């Protein structure tokens, strides 16, 4: 016998409201594909797992939560609204090809980069950048892991290829174990204690790589290689659930791959192929990628929901080789190259979660 599905269409009145009869269950957020009742996949027959009835809206709902308000007699949900960009403080050192990490648009760290080669490290508090302790080795085009108070600078060039790795403890940088295979222009994911470093270019020879190395807090180990060798890509996530976005193979590519801790799987491509992206913000199944170069520098921003990419609000200006970090709800894009000069501009992304009434349209 197959799964029993409940059809709620008969509960919709001509006024677009719902009868309360039979609405005693919760709908799991995973069963809701979009903000329309037409896209509810299934209502489980198990009592207590359907739409909750409440007399007033919950004070702190979770994204995706659905409930029936018995006072207003409407079905409501808590969903992501459209995101937008706002200008933030300007970094003290204009640069591109830099490292960067952060947890939101009010807490970020940028370090290294081309200005030319710099060791400068700056911390953001939501309004301004403050210079803190420099990297031990000035370099650019490496990978970034970690958060504002526990960051990692992986490999890069400065001016020669570097396999050096440094850890930031919130006040100073310390050199730790080198990567096994030096490469520049790769991408990183994870934390200071459990990181990942993938792709890149072992310039001048043997060239573009699909190598993937995992960090356990004391040593790097080569693990499952990417399906496509590339560099200048975006990336993020954790060392067991990462994402690699776009880059150059060559040519410039839209390829997206996700890592499950054992192997990489190619998934849906970006809508716009590009390289030199500003790293990215979010996790492997909820990710934001911004800027880059399609053949010319762009301000395109795309959001990944674990299945497909959607173009969202563009950056205020075209930028490539900048830094980005945070989450899909609160992110930052800092510094980069705009086609004529290195810049220290900061753009802040906010995507609010709002209460929405579900209608039949």
| Secondary structure letter of residue 10 according to DSSP | G
What pLDDT band is residue 3 in, cutting at 50, 70 and 90? very low
Contacts of 26-34 with C-beta under 8 Å, sequence gap 24+, read 26/50, 26/51, 26/52, 26/66, 27/51, 27/66, 29/62, 29/63, 29/64, 29/65, 29/66, 30/64, 32/64, 32/66, 32/77
CB 163 within 8 A of CB 182: yes
pTM equals: 0.80
CB 310 within 8 A of CB 301: no
Residue 324, judged by CB atoms within 10 A of its CB (0-12, 13-18, 19+), counts as buried
| Secondary structure letter of residue 11 according to DSSP | G
Average pLDDT over residues 25-40: 53
Q: What is the pLDDT of residues 33-46, one digit of tens each?
A: 545 445 544 445 44
| pLDDT top residue among 11 and 272 | 272
Q: What is the pLDDT of residues 212-229, one digit of tens each?
A: 999 999 999 999 999 999
| pLDDT top residue among 13 and 164 | 164
Work out the mean pLDDT of the chain and round it to a whole number: 89
113 has a pLDDT exceeding 60: yes
Average pLDDT over residues 156-174: 94
Q: Any residues with CB less than 8 A from the CB of 278 and at least 6 apart, and which?
A: 234, 289, 290, 291, 292, 319, 320, 321, 322, 323, 324, 333, 336
- Determine the pLDDT at residue 286: 94
27 has a pLDDT exceeding 90: no
What is the separation of C-alpha 87 from the centre of its chain, rounded to a whole number of angstroms?
19
Dig out the tokens for 89 from the structure.
């403080």
CB 102 within 8 A of CB 108: yes
What pLDDT band is residue 284 in, cutting at 50, 70 and 90? very high
Choosing among 2.120.10.80, 3.40.50.150, 3.40.50.10800, 2.40.340.10, the CATH entry for 84-350 is: 2.120.10.80
Alpha-helical regions (H) of 218-323: none
Q: What b/e readout covers 153-168, taking b as 16+ CB neighbours within 10 angstroms? A: bbbbbbeebbbbbbbb
C-beta neighbour count of 211 within 10 angstroms: 19
118 has a pLDDT exceeding 90: yes
Average pLDDT over residues 277-302: 97
6 has a pLDDT exceeding 60: no
Percent of the chain whose pLDDT exceeds 70: 84
- Determine the pLDDT at residue 48: 45
- Determine the pLDDT at residue 204: 82
Average pLDDT over residues 159-173: 94
- Determine the pLDDT at residue 50: 67
Q: What is the pLDDT of residues 129-143, one digit of tens each?
A: 999 999 999 999 999
Nearest partner of 234 among 306, 293, 178, judged by Cα: 293
Q: What is the pLDDT of residues 226-267, one digit of tens each?
A: 999 999 999 999 999 999 999 999 999 999 999 999 999 999
Q: Any residues with CB less than 8 A from the CB of 233 and at least 6 apart, and which?
A: 186, 187, 199, 244, 245, 246, 247, 248, 275, 277
What pLDDT band is residue 82 in, cutting at 50, 70 and 90? confident
- Determine the pLDDT at residue 73: 84
52 has a pLDDT exceeding 50: yes
Nearest partner of 27 among 17, 39, 19, 18, judged by Cα: 39
C-beta neighbour count of 125 within 10 angstroms: 12
Domain range summary for the chain, segments of one domain joined by +: 9-80, 84-350
- Determine the pLDDT at residue 47: 41
Alpha-helical regions (H) of 56-134: none
Nearest partner of 92 among 65, 61, 56, 128, judged by Cα: 128
327 has a pLDDT exceeding 90: yes
- Determine the pLDDT at residue 305: 93
Average pLDDT over residues 89-113: 98
287 has a pLDDT exceeding 90: yes
19 has a pLDDT exceeding 80: no
149 has a pLDDT exceeding 70: yes
CA distance 342 to 203: 23
Average pLDDT over residues 159-176: 95
Q: What is the pLDDT of residues 257-267, one digit of tens each?
A: 999 999 999 99
């Amino acid at each position: 016998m197959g799964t029993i599905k409940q059809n709620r269409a008969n509960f919709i009145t001509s006024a677009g409201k719902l009868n309360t009869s039979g609405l005693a269950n919760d709908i799991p957020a995973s069963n809701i594909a979009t903000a329309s009742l037409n896209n509810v996949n299934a209502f489980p027959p198990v009592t207590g797992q359907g739409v909750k009835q409440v007399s007033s809206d919950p004070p702190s709902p979770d994204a995706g939560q659905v409930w029936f308000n018995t006072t207003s007699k409407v079905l409501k949900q808590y969903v992501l609204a459209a995101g937008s960009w706002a200008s933030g403080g300007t970094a003290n050192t204009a640069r591109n090809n830099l490292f960067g990490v952060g947890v939101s648009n009010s807490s970020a760290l940028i370090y290294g980069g081309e200005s030319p080669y710099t060791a400068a490290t700056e911390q953001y508090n939501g309004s301004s950048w403050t210079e803190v302790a420099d990297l031990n080795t000035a370099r650019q085009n490496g990978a970034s892991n970690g958060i504002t108070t526990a960051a990692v600078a992986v490999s890069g060039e400065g001016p020669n290829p570097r396999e050096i790795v440094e850890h930031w403890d919130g006040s100073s940088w310390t050199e730790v174990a080198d990567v096994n295979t030096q490469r520049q222009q790769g991408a990183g994911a994870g934390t200071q204690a459990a990181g990942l470093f993938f792709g890149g270019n072992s310039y001048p020879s043997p060239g573009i790589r699909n190598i993937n190395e995992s960090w356990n807090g004391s040593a790097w180990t080569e693990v499952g290689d990417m399906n496509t060798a590339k560099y200048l890509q975006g990336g993020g996530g954790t060392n067991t659930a990462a994402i690699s976005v776009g880059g150059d193979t060559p040519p410039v590519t839209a390829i997206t791959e996700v890592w499950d801790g054992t192997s990489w799987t190619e998934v849906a491509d970006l809508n716009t192929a590009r390289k030199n992206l500003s790293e990215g913000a979010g996790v492997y199944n909820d990710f934001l990628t911004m800027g880059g170069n399609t053949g010319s520098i762009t301000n395109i921003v795309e959001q990944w929901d674990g299945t497909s990419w959607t173009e969202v609000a563009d950056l205020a200006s075209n930028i490539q080789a900048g830094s980005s970090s945070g989450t899909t709800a609160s992110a930052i894009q800092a510094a980069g190259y705009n086609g004529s000069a290195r810049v220290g501009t900061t753009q802040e992304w906010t995507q609010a979660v709002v209460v929405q009434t579900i209608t039949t349209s």
